[in-house]
Protein backbone atom coordinates (compact mmCIF):
# COMPACT_ATOMS: atom_id res chain seq x y z
CA UNK A 1 0.00 0.00 0.00
CA UNK A 2 1.32 3.41 -0.96
CA UNK A 3 0.71 6.26 1.42
CA UNK A 4 1.54 9.83 0.53
CA UNK A 5 1.84 12.96 2.60
CA UNK A 6 2.14 16.41 1.06
CA UNK A 7 3.97 19.01 3.11
CA UNK A 8 4.73 22.65 2.38
CA UNK A 9 7.87 24.23 3.78
CA UNK A 10 10.20 27.18 3.39
CA UNK A 11 13.80 26.12 2.92
CA UNK A 12 15.99 28.15 5.29
CA UNK A 13 19.47 29.47 4.55
CA UNK A 14 20.94 26.44 6.31
CA UNK A 15 19.16 24.19 3.74
CA UNK A 16 18.13 21.89 6.58
CA UNK A 17 14.61 20.54 6.92
CA UNK A 18 13.34 18.48 9.83
CA UNK A 19 10.26 16.39 9.12
CA UNK A 20 7.94 14.92 11.73
CA UNK A 21 5.51 12.36 10.40
CA UNK A 22 2.19 11.36 11.94
CA UNK A 23 2.47 8.52 14.47
CA UNK A 24 0.40 6.18 12.29
CA UNK A 25 2.71 6.59 9.29
CA UNK A 26 4.21 3.22 8.22
CA UNK A 27 7.85 2.55 8.99
CA UNK A 28 10.32 1.31 6.41
CA UNK A 29 11.80 2.49 3.15
CA UNK A 30 10.45 5.73 1.70
CA UNK A 31 11.10 7.92 -1.27
CA UNK A 32 11.27 11.64 -0.56
CA UNK A 33 10.92 14.08 -3.46
CA UNK A 34 11.32 17.83 -3.01
CA UNK A 35 9.69 20.11 -5.55
CA UNK A 36 10.93 23.67 -5.37
CA UNK A 37 8.49 26.12 -6.90
CA UNK A 38 9.50 29.63 -7.83
CA UNK A 39 8.35 32.22 -5.37
CA UNK A 40 5.40 34.37 -6.35
CA UNK A 41 7.58 37.45 -6.50
CA UNK A 42 10.27 35.93 -8.73
CA UNK A 43 10.22 36.99 -12.33
CA UNK A 44 9.32 34.59 -15.10
CA UNK A 45 12.10 33.10 -17.21
CA UNK A 46 12.44 34.45 -20.70
CA UNK A 47 13.86 33.07 -23.93
CA UNK A 48 16.88 35.32 -23.32
CA UNK A 49 17.41 33.62 -19.94
CA UNK A 50 17.45 30.24 -21.70
CA UNK A 51 19.73 31.53 -24.46
CA UNK A 52 22.20 32.76 -21.84
CA UNK A 53 22.07 29.51 -19.86
CA UNK A 54 24.59 26.69 -19.97
CA UNK A 55 22.04 24.50 -21.77
CA UNK A 56 21.63 26.55 -24.93
CA UNK A 57 24.01 25.28 -27.59
CA UNK A 58 25.38 22.51 -25.38
CA UNK A 59 25.66 20.16 -28.38
CA UNK A 60 27.15 22.81 -30.65
CA UNK A 61 30.72 21.47 -30.75
CA UNK A 62 29.89 17.75 -30.74
CA UNK A 63 31.31 16.08 -33.85
CA UNK A 64 29.43 12.82 -33.14
CA UNK A 65 26.01 14.47 -33.56
CA UNK A 66 24.97 15.16 -37.13
CA UNK A 67 21.45 16.56 -36.89
CA UNK A 68 20.69 17.71 -33.35
CA UNK A 69 16.92 17.46 -33.91
CA UNK A 70 17.22 13.80 -34.98
CA UNK A 71 19.60 13.14 -32.09
CA UNK A 72 17.18 14.63 -29.55
CA UNK A 73 14.29 12.64 -31.05
CA UNK A 74 16.30 9.42 -30.72
CA UNK A 75 17.16 10.22 -27.07
CA UNK A 76 13.48 10.77 -26.27
CA UNK A 77 12.48 7.57 -28.10
CA UNK A 78 15.02 5.53 -26.13
CA UNK A 79 13.85 7.09 -22.87
CA UNK A 80 10.24 6.15 -23.57
CA UNK A 81 11.24 2.56 -24.42
CA UNK A 82 13.06 2.18 -21.10
CA UNK A 83 10.21 3.59 -19.03
CA UNK A 84 7.59 1.31 -20.57
Cα 20 from Cα 50, distance rounded (Å): 38
Q: What is the pTM of this model?
A: 0.37
pLDDT digits (tens, 9 = 90+) for 30-67: 888 888 877 665 667 788 888 888 888 877 788 888 88
Q: How far apart are alpha carbons 58 and 49 in whole angstroms?
A: 15
CB atoms near residue 37 (< 10 Å): 7
CB count within 10 Å of CB 71 equals 14
Q: Domain limits of the chain? A: 47-83
Amino acid sequence: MVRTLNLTANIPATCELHISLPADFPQGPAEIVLVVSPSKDSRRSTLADFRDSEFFGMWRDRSDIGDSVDFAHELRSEGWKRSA
